[in-house]
Amino acid sequence: MYYKNIADLNDIILKRLSIIPHDIDLIVGIPRSGMLPANLLALYLNKPYTDLDSFINGHIYNAGARSKTFNPAASNKVLIVDDSLGSGSALNKSKAKLEAVSGKYELRYCAIYVAPGTEKMVDYYFDVVALPRFFQWNILNHPSLEKACFDIDGVLCVDPTEDVNDDGEKYIEFIKNAPPLYIPGNKIGALVTSRLEKYRSETQQWLNDHGVKYDELIMLDLPDKEARVKAGSHAEHKAKAYLAKPYTLFVESNLQQAAHINALTQKPVFCTENFEMVYQSQSFVYNIKSGKYLPFLRKYALRIRDMIK
């Protein structure tokens, strides 16, 4: 699995900005993912930009003005931008939409990330990234989320504060009314949480209220908060669920737990604390005394993994 975040996107655009000819008159982003790189290119090249449909309808965004009528006589060379190129189906759909104006402009096509073997499908590309891949700006709407596990607190909703985490009425009220954070657009394979089993009905109601689609909800089967704290098995609980089926991704809110889950499973973990992907070669644990993340011994991780299977 390959992962690129917004910082990676910005870095590769700046590194290879010179591949885009400076005589481009207008930059057009393919919604929705293509709008982010199109905006960055327009800012760095100091060019006007717009989205695909607005371009076809004759509107652009320009410096100092939110929008204005597009002047065909003032522009000829137009760069059509998308974030990535895989099979080419999305690009072909965009080309079909642009047939209505293709005779009026010199259209050129650009993708920031292309799959190996698709380089010649565009005029310009910035980097070759193999499949499968996730991007920070599309991970929550990725079609493969049915093969993913998600934590709840800190991912789907905010974490409870200490004053409401009383294992009583305040906590129940929190579960019922927790402000949502990152709600995926696609169905999730499994929700894996350290919330206690006794809060299943309240949790299910919140998920239903916020349109979260999932196959299964895996909770911690312990009697109370005291037992949960004593067990201290948050990462092990989540790793066990991650290993139970051929899931390909775990989305976790806490960086320390993300590193621990990765070490136990040797599978990628996406962390919403820093929007980074923790891979097998990047396993760390937090050392309380030093206040640093230290390498997590693979031998120890494998031993624990075998114990929780």
Q: List pLDDT tens digits, range 27-41.
A: 999 998 999 999 999
Is residue 144 over pLDDT 80? yes
- Percentage of the chain beyond pLDDT 70 is 85
Q: List pLDDT tens digits, range 214-234.
A: 999 999 999 888 888 888 889
Structure token digits, residue 119: 């380089």
pLDDT band at 305; cut points 50, 70, 90:
very low
Is residue 110 over pLDDT 90? yes
Is residue 242 over pLDDT 90? yes
